[in-house]
């Protein structure tokens, strides 16, 4: 299982590297929806039980993914929701042959005026 995070909000990545829940500084475009300072205890247990890996994407990849989702597919999504697609679009995550990929996307926190 793969979780995608913004480089400026690497909560899971830092937790996995440390082997325990740690506090991280968060920022960037997706911080309002993905900017947890610390991974919760239940989430940490689930991550350990299911061997989740973290993939990080940068701000440019997030913006590009959000723009493509809007311009190509007419999906108005928040920056945080675009991170999974950003990993695929940017090549930060490359699925194995035959791997089935699901990117969860929503638009609950979208400001339509920013969709240029």
Q: What is the pLDDT of residues 39-74, one digit of tens each?
A: 999 999 999 999 899 999 999 999 999 999 999 999
What pLDDT score does 29 carry? 87
Task: Output the CA torsion sign for 35, 70, 111, 113.
Answer: positive
Q: What is the mean pLDDT of the chain?
A: 92
pLDDT band at 32 (very low <50, low <70, confident <90, very high): confident
Q: Which of 111, 51, 53, 106 is nearest to 83 (CA)?
A: 106
What is the phi/psi pair of residue 45, to 5°?
A: -60, -40
Q: What is the mean predicted confidence (pLDDT) over 105-111?
A: 78
Contact predicate 56/3, CB 8 Å: no
**Among 45, 42, 50, 37, CA closest to 5:** 37
- Which pLDDT value is given to residue 114? 80
- Give the span between the Cα atoms of 55 and 70, in whole angstroms: 23
Nearest to 16 by CA among 8, 5, 27, 26: 5
Q: Say which CATH number the domain at 104 has.
A: 3.40.50.1100
**pLDDT at residue 67, rounded to an integer:** 93
Number of domains in the chain: 1
pLDDT for position 12: 96
Contact 107, 76 (CB under 8 A): yes
State how far the Cα of 97 lies from the Cα of 116, in Å rounded to an integer: 35
- Coil, strand or helix at 97: coil
pLDDT at 88: 97
Structural domain that includes position 57:
2-114
């Amino acid at each position: 299982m793969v979780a995608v995070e913004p480089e400026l909000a690497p909560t899971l990545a830092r937790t996995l590297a440390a082997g325990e829940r740690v506090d991280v500084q968060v920022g960037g475009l997706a911080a309002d929806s993905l900017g947890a300072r610390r991974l919760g205890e239940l989430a940490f247990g689930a991550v350990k039980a299911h061997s989740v890996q973290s993939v990080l994407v940068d701000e440019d990849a997030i913006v590009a993914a959000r723009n493509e989702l809007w311009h190509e597919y007419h999906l108005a999504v928040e920056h945080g929701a675009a991170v999974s697609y950003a990993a695929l679009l940017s090549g930060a995550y490359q699925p194995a042959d035959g791997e089935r990929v699901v990117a969860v996307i929503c638009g609950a926190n979208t400001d339509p005026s920013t969709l240029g």
